[in-house]
Structure 1
């Protein structure tokens, strides 16, 4: 009996390029973003490799600690990886150039990386991987997680437009984004933020000691600078939340909690607490991916305001919202244009898009009254629209 050998060509490895996880080990939610891509690739039966570039600092002890934390998480999730350290000297000399020969490597060896990149696919998150390292990969896809900012800065500087074959964005409305933003100079394709709906399962309703809790996580201040018609506008969470500051007082049978990076002596903490908001530290509560997912699962729902994309109508949705939905947590947020691609009724999607305090009050009360049904709808929406393997199949094909 003879056996015919398969002539099928193995699928090329998929590298997830990242430059924001290793340097920020206290950000469990931050680490979760590329993790969802790798988990989704596993479900597809594709070989995924995490490619991380971490800038060297003036503190060797800190750098070593960050590298250990990153490699430990790679083992925890059973991931193949390359961790490349960009030397401090070269950051100053050529900050926009990544030369593999100048980098220290952890994980798989550099010679293997060079060889596998020749036939590999790179999903470059937020233009994390730069040339000439970038050009080693046979197929290069830029994945933008910040639609408006990327379009704005591409009109002024190199943001990867010269080095990628395809351009993907979590902005679902890239063709109709606010006309005050420069016209896109590359052809964008859109995708929903990713969440592995097998890894993150629906969770039972939390048991609260006092009242149900609405939560969100983020940066209260914004260090960006986008000029709109000659004016630099404050697109911070601080500004975005201004219309909703009375919400805790209007819905007293719930707790509204902000997990924001605010210093202990920041006067904003006192101001927000006087208005009825809980203010907690994300670094303390969710320094790991698991603690991050536990925090989301311990919430009744998310309530948040959108700092930039709601004004520009880019169709942006957050990866955080996807993770809330996957665990059966409804999401109350602001419209960005993305709502047109989702079920129109909140009862069917588990998503509420609000623009005023009155709408936020109504949505919060509806979540409190009909949580079991909305939780099932949220989970169904995550599976239908945000599932990582489904989205990656679309991107890679």
Structure 2
């Protein structure tokens, strides 16, 4: 493939945590490994989410330093920029250098609709939107269209600035998929995984058991098509009794929420044998995160109700790094099983009975499932294949 100059927009500095870092970092890193001339920017017009102790609420120092370190660790120390909404300052590359890069860039990849549009981005010949949150993304657009007025016009223009639209909803456009497409031609893609950074020998004895990393509820339920669409808390109830039923160790990292209802749910999980771990140093940065995944026996993952209900075909990028690490994955089927293998390496579950059977199967045939997990990651999620397939659509 011909070498291109590519700018990637994401959320690493805004969400300086291990999982989010890998979610966005593997785009510039994967493109760099393919030999492209790659730059990373953050221009979200959002105020910083995390601050170090003592910093003011609008101080982006912690996120900027985190981003600087992450970029240096992949050899892109002079190829990033962070535009801060609070001060108007640009960190990393200078404003002048950033505009020079955009002037000669071939492609802009806007991951998760992270980037606000400016003239220098609009002038890049090909602009790609990557929808990492299928059905939630389209619902937000639906809300704006219903609201009408300037809000609808802004959203419509924002979308139409893009030339290509990709989604993690592998089943989009199929008769049973309930994701509205509006007037956009949605192509499908997967989370790119830089497999050589994850493909490590499986430890003889894992430090952790069946693990995962999750939010209990990221946002409130919403109403669409006269139905309620929810989060993981709705689905997890099906599996409350799994530790007792399977007699295995389950350890889940969950941010302990403050609301009483969720605290009660966490206490209920603990009482049933779930070990609720605090993120702390376990997944504070990308290295901690990778160590946690690779110290796990396997992943047990619950999926957001909305992904399942919409028949989206979504598959977790977190689960993909478990696979790349040779860790089998047990997760609910959103129709992803139509587009990649199920049964060895990654096992589809739907209720307590199928989950218990899957736990027994993986435990009893671990070497087989570990190998299959790694094979699936290389075949379906390898960043070289995923990103090359995407760029093949660029004329």
Q: What are the equivalent positions in structure 2 for 1:1-397 lying under 5 Å apart?
A: 11-18=3-10, 20-25=11-16, 27-53=17-43, 55-56=46-47, 59=56, 62-79=59-76, 80-87=79-86, 103-120=88-105, 121-133=107-119, 134-157=121-144, 158=155, 160-176=158-174, 181-205=179-203, 207-208=205-206, 213-233=209-229, 235-252=230-247, 254-263=248-257, 266-307=263-304, 308-344=306-342, 346-347=343-344, 350-397=345-392
Query: Following TM superposition, by how much is the alpha carbon of 1:229 offset from its aligned partner in structure 2, in angstroms?
Result: 2.5
1:85-130 deviation per Cα after TM superposition (whole angstroms, max 9, x unaligned) = 1237xxxxxxxxxxxxxx3111112222222213321110111112
Q: Distance in 2 between matches of 1:206 and 1:49?
A: 39
Runs of 4+ more than 4 Å apart: 177-181
State the partner residue of 1:95: none
Query: Following TM superposition, by how much is the alpha carbon of 1:257 offset from its aligned partner in structure 2, in angstroms?
Result: 1.2
1:50-104 deviation per Cα after TM superposition (whole angstroms, max 9, x unaligned) = 111353459278422221122122112222211111237xxxxxxxxxxxxxx31
State the partner residue of 1:5: none
Query: Following TM superposition, by how much is the alpha carbon of 1:10 offset from its aligned partner in structure 2, in angstroms?
Result: 7.6
SS class of match (2:234):
helix
Query: Following TM superposition, by how much is the alpha carbon of 1:184 offset from its aligned partner in structure 2, in angstroms?
Result: 3.2
1:346-376 deviation per Cα after TM superposition (whole angstroms, max 9, x unaligned) = 23xx110111110000001111011111101
Q: Is the 8 A contact 2:60 2:84 kept in 1?
A: no
SS class of match (2:266):
helix
Query: Following TM superposition, by how much is the alpha carbon of 1:40 offset from its aligned partner in structure 2, in angstroms?
Result: 1.1
Q: Is the 8 A contact 2:179 2:312 kept in 1?
A: no
User: Unaligned regions of 5+ residues in structure 1, if any?
Assistant: 1-8, 89-102
Q: Distance in 1 between matches of 2:307 and 2:128?
A: 22
Q: Is the 8 A contact 2:281 2:288 kept in 1?
A: no
TM-score, with structure 2 as normaliser? 0.87
Q: Distance in 2 between matches of 1:44 and 1:146?
A: 26
SS class of match (1:106):
strand
TM-score, with structure 1 as normaliser? 0.86
Q: Distance in 2 between matches of 1:230 and 1:10?
A: 48
**Which stretch has the larger CA shift, 333-342 or 60-69?**
60-69
Q: Distance in 2 between matches of 1:240 and 1:282?
A: 22
Q: Distance in 2 between matches of 1:112 and 1:374?
A: 48
Q: Distance in 1 between matches of 2:227 and 2:374?
A: 41
Q: Distance in 2 between matches of 1:236 and 1:10?
A: 42
Structure 1 residues 267 and 378 mapped into 2: Cα distance closer, same or farther (>3 Å)?
Answer: same
Structure 1 residues 231 and 23 mapped into 2: Cα distance closer, same or farther (>3 Å)?
Answer: same
Aligned residues: 366
User: Unaligned regions of 5+ residues in structure 2, if any?
Assistant: 49-54, 145-154
Query: Following TM superposition, by how much is the alpha carbon of 1:175 offset from its aligned partner in structure 2, in angstroms?
Result: 0.4
Q: Distance in 1 between matches of 2:2 and 2:347?
A: 43
Structure 1 residues 178 and 151 mapped into 2: Cα distance closer, same or farther (>3 Å)?
Answer: farther
Considering only aligned residues, what root-mean-square deviation do their CA atoms show, in Å?
Answer: 2.2
Q: Distance in 1 between matches of 2:325 and 2:178?
A: 37
